[in-house]
Amino acid sequence: MSIHEVFMPALSSTMTEGKIVSWVKSPGDKVEKGETVVVVESDKADMDVESFYEGFLAHIIVQAGETAPIGAAIAYVAETEAEIEAAKAMAGGGSVVAETPAPVPVAAAAAVATPATASQNGSNHREERLVVSPRARKLAKELRVDLNNLKGSGPYGRIVAEDVEAAVGKVQPPTTPAVTPTQPTPPVISAAPPAPAKPAAVTAPVVSSAVPGQVVPLTTLQNAVVRNMVTSLSVPIFHVGYTITTDGLDKLYKQIKSKGVTMTALLAKAVAVTLQKHPLLNASYSDQGIVYHPNINISVAVAMDDGGLITPVLQKADQVDIYSLSRNWKSLVDRARAKQLQPEEYNSGTFTLSNLGMFGVDTFDAILPPGQGSILAIAAARPQVVATSDGLFGVRQQMKVNITCDHRIIYGAHAAAFLQDLAKLIETNPQSLTL
């Protein structure tokens, strides 16, 4: 007799436990080797988890919505239908007379239930199997659509929700751009800001309707943020503030926003171009010395609706044109909301932007992310009465920025020089951001 345990896999290097988002298979269902049986929430994204064995899903130990530590058994897979009852007896603490295999060690958990090679759209991909997003699979079941008859429009031929809807005549199937979100949903950060010189309009995080006196457990993502923030406390930091006039940037934004350009992309581009002159601000500390990163990857903090924070990364932001950068940003936010980002899309940042300007704040200090040397806090832009160069008074749109730096490698003069050059670029030559 062969009854196999399905273990909670380690989907990232920082993951200590996982949460079951949904079971794709139900007890008693036939399971093929390499077929997705469960969707697990790691500390940053949702991932399909496949069975290493062929057989039947005999018993679910950890139900949807529950969590389990890495390496813990979350289900049993029996090789034959006759062994299903025996698997249930095992789960209930009963004895099984027949010989069963010893539990697989935690280190081998990935061999029992392991995500396949991750594709660009956040799903798992193997050439020999049907690749379907969890949302598309659920929708197909509701609409009674045979997935085997569909051709996926997502990267690597992945079937997404739009393909299922198109099959029943609801919508036209989407075309596949170079980077495309698999599950478009309203983004956390919209394409257009509510006021000039704000990176983007971010909807306020949804606060759950908790009952007064109730203790609400932290989500997996919130726990990951907690660990990162505690780690940040060990780093000696300092802050430097600067006031930047944004009239020129606002004018440029009004000219090109109809082409899909976002203020987030403009500011990320401005920071990235300035970092070319200040590589130390793009560096990070290590026990071996200063790590000068080969690329300028700008992380942008995004508050998730269900709690927690994630930082999608605009890769090589200094080298990408503003129009592609804006499209990339929209794709990243869409996939962040759908929890379909790949690890390199949220943990490869070398410099972070944090914006609360859409809430009207005057100034704030941002907490330095682990593994980075700097983070820039951006507050609201406001009309201010200022003395002009001709000795008169005028009204200018101004915003306050505040940089937090790792004082082990970056000193006050370095940060001040960076902010000075950033202000000069935004105030005197914003048109260069479109080149």
Q: Residue 109: what pLDDT?
A: 32
pLDDT value at 304 more than 60: yes
Compare 354 and 188 and report the one with higher pLDDT: 354
Percent above pLDDT 70 for the chain = 77
Mean pLDDT for 47-76 is: 86
Report for 226-230, 235-239, 353-357: range of highest mean pLDDT: 235-239
Q: What is the β-pairing status of strands 302-303 and 309-310?
A: antiparallel
Cite the beta strand spans of 356-407 per DSSP E: 374-387, 393-406
pLDDT value at 14 more than 90: no
Mean pLDDT for 147-168 is: 74
Q: Residue 293: what pLDDT?
A: 97
Measured CA to CA, the distance from residue 130 to residue 267 in angstroms comes to: 40
What is the number of other CB atoms lying within 10 angstroms of the CB of residue 195? 16
Catalytic hit among 59, 125, 278, 407: 407
| CB contact at 8 A, 72 and 62 | yes
Please, which pLDDT band fits residue 19 given cuts at 50, 70 and 90?
A: confident
Which segment of 4-8, 304-308, 364-368 scores lowest on mean pLDDT?
Answer: 304-308
Cite the beta strand spans of 210-283 per DSSP E: 237-245
Predicted structure pTM score: 0.60
pLDDT value at 58 more than 90: no
Percent above pLDDT 90 for the chain = 38
Q: Residue 404: what pLDDT?
A: 98
Mean pLDDT for 44-63 is: 84
Compare 122 and 133 and report the one with higher pLDDT: 133
Distances (CA, A) of 80 to 28, 58, 111: 10, 9, 20
pLDDT value at 411 more than 80: yes
DSSP state of 105: P
pLDDT value at 221 more than 80: no
Compare 181 and 72 and report the one with higher pLDDT: 72
Please, which pLDDT band fits residue 208 given cuts at 50, 70 and 90?
A: low
Q: Residue 228: what pLDDT?
A: 82
Q: Residue 180: what pLDDT?
A: 37
DSSP 119-173: -TTSSB--TTS--B-HHHHHHHHHHT--GGG----SGGG-B-HHHHHHHTTSSPP
Mean pLDDT for 126-145 is: 67
Q: What is the β-pairing status of strands 298-300 and 351-355?
A: parallel
Distances (CA, A) of 133 to 261, 346, 354, 387: 29, 20, 31, 57
Q: Residue 344: what pLDDT?
A: 87
Which segment of 56-60, 216-220, 295-299 scores lowest on mean pLDDT?
Answer: 216-220
Instruction: Examine the residue annotation and report whether 407 is marked as an active-site residue of this protein.
Output: yes
Measured CA to CA, the distance from residue 250 to residue 248 in angstroms comes to: 5
Please, which pLDDT band fits residue 294 given cuts at 50, 70 and 90?
A: very high
Query: Amino acid identity, residue 419?
Result: L
Mean pLDDT for 120-126 is: 34
pLDDT value at 196 more than 50: no
Q: Residue 18: what pLDDT?
A: 83
Indicate the Cα dihedral angle 280, 282, 284, 289, nearest 10°: -40
Q: In whole numbers, what is the pLDDT of the chain averaged over residues?
A: 79
Mean pLDDT for 404-424 is: 97
Compare 431 and 105 and report the one with higher pLDDT: 431
| CB contact at 8 A, 239 and 402 | yes
Which segment of 79-93, 179-193, 209-223 scores lowest on mean pLDDT?
Answer: 179-193
Q: Residue 106: what pLDDT?
A: 32
Instruction: Name the CA radius of gyration of the chain, rounded.
Output: 25
pLDDT value at 43 more than 50: yes
Compare 186 and 272 and report the one with higher pLDDT: 272
Which segment of 7-11, 102-106, 262-266, 374-378 scores lowest on mean pLDDT?
Answer: 102-106
Q: Residue 182: what pLDDT?
A: 38
What the block records as the tokens of 361 is 């704040």
Which residues 6+ apart lie within 8 Å of 264 measured at CB? Answer: 189, 199, 200, 300, 326, 329, 353, 355
Please, which pLDDT band fits residue 94 given cuts at 50, 70 and 90?
A: very low
Query: Model confidence over 380-406: pLDDT tens digits?
Result: 999 999 888 788 899 999 999 999 999
pLDDT value at 129 more than 70: no
